[in-house]
Amino acid sequence: MDGPLTGMRVVEVSSFVAAPLGGMTLAQLGADVVRVDPLGGGVDHRRWPLAESGTSLYWAGLNKGKRSLCVDLRSAQGRELVTRLVADSGILLTNAAIRGLDHETLVKVRPDLIQLRITGRPDGSAAVDYTVNAELGFPLVTGPEDHAGPVNHVLPAWDIACGLYAAIGILGAELRRRATGEGQSITLPLSDVALAMAGNLGFLAEAQFGGVRPRIGNHLYGSFARDFGTRDGHRVMVVALTARHWTDLVGAAGLTGPVSALESALGADFGLEADRYEHREALAGLLHRWFAGRDLAEVTGSLKGTSVLWSVYRTFADVVADEALRANPMMAVLDQPGIGRHLAPGSPLDFGDRAVVRAPVMGEHTDEILRTRLGLDPDRISALRDQGVI
């Protein structure tokens, strides 16, 4: 793949979401990323969802644009091959703890090595997105107001943020190496990614100062936003962040008079986010009647052309059936072995060429990598295969 990172070489020894996403982000920008897996595949090689063949849609989705090397990481010969590959590449991205592939060992063969290791916690212990999210408090402020238990989010938000942080960290270290000639050992704990964002978004400071974040269902904390049902069974999410958004929403719904009367009765100023939030239930009640008395087509006609932020709730199946998906230049049809032809995304970053490259078949590039990157001849490669090393 051509891109701004063409010429960069990365070795990835990883599993699950964060590290593979970091490697794929670099690959989609042009880096030559070699994913190293144990023989037979890593722990995430068969993770759901699966195609009818049993091929993991998840694994294929997170490894597009990479090359694949399969090697017995438990054997000394296998680790020696990976060590040589890391020395050739100069960059290692991993969330694995494998004997002989630690920074202290690898830096002896590549003094300017950049190695980024994702861990669960700062002390190196294990954690995953759902456990990190649970201990930070997010599931206890998510969900309906009258719900007593935690509500987990299906999106692994901290894994995603961690993967993108990993790509940024490697790029930052590479810029530093180009300026100073020095490598870098970087540790990126998943729990710190989540903790940092909880702090950056004000959740922690709010609690420090005695605030208690309530459960508010589908309302938006501190502003006005909510979902409404239409007469023909659709649901619409409406967001009014600014005074203009609010004015346009009220006008489109023909509620300027009733809302003004409510504003006067409450002594409120609905031009202010705080007042719209404080009286959200009363305002939502007025809007509920308007949405419930109209079909989606009429709602769409009223909101179209306004500044109001809104969208119709859709299923993944609805998204796939929408012709607009095929028109999106980020999307392409891939013929993925074991899966078949399907739409798949490239990088959201548009540098003018958004080519989408399929994920490798496990071990697909083993011979090629050993031959072109490590200089092994066919007889040596054949011998390694006979010995069960590759």
CATH architecture for segment(s) 9-199+327-386: 3-Layer(aba) Sandwich (3.40)
Q: What is the pLDDT of residues 297-326, one digit of tens each?
A: 999 999 999 999 999 999 999 999 999 999
Tell me, rounded to whole angstroms, the distance of Cα 101 from its chain centroid: 27
Beta strands in 132-250 (DSSP E): 184-189, 224-229, 235-240
**In the predicted model, is pLDDT for residue 1 greater than 80?**
no
Q: What does the domain layout of the chain look like in residue ranges?
A: 9-199+327-386, 224-312
Per-residue CA distances from 315 to 93, 280, 303, 319, 322 (Å): 34, 27, 22, 6, 11
Average pLDDT, the chain: 96
Q: What is the pLDDT of residues 248-271, one digit of tens each?
A: 999 999 999 999 999 999 999 999
Per-residue CA distances from 290 to 226, 255, 301, 327, 341 (Å): 14, 9, 14, 34, 44
Could you give the 3-state DSSP secondary structure of residue 68? strand
376-383 contact pairs (CB < 8 A, 24+)? none
**pLDDT band (50, 70, 90) for residue 7:** very high
User: From CA 146, how far away is CA 76, in angstroms rounded?
Assistant: 57
**pLDDT band (50, 70, 90) for residue 217:** very high
Mean pLDDT of the region 37-50 = 94
User: From CA 356, how far away is CA 28, in angstroms rounded?
Assistant: 8
Could you give the 3-state DSSP secondary structure of residue 339? coil
Taking domain 224-312, whether its CATH number is 2.40.10.480 is answered by no
Q: Which of 163, 190, 194, 166 is nearest to 21 (CA)?
A: 163
Q: What is the pLDDT of residues 343-380, one digit of tens each?
A: 999 999 998 878 899 999 999 999 999 999 999 999 99
Across-strand partners of 189?
119
pLDDT for position 313: 97
Mean pLDDT of the region 58-69 = 97
Largest separation between any pair of C-alpha atoms in the chain: 88
Structure tokens, 365: 């590039």
pTM of the model: 0.94
Active site residues: 159
How many CB atoms sit inside 10 A of residue 147's CB? 12
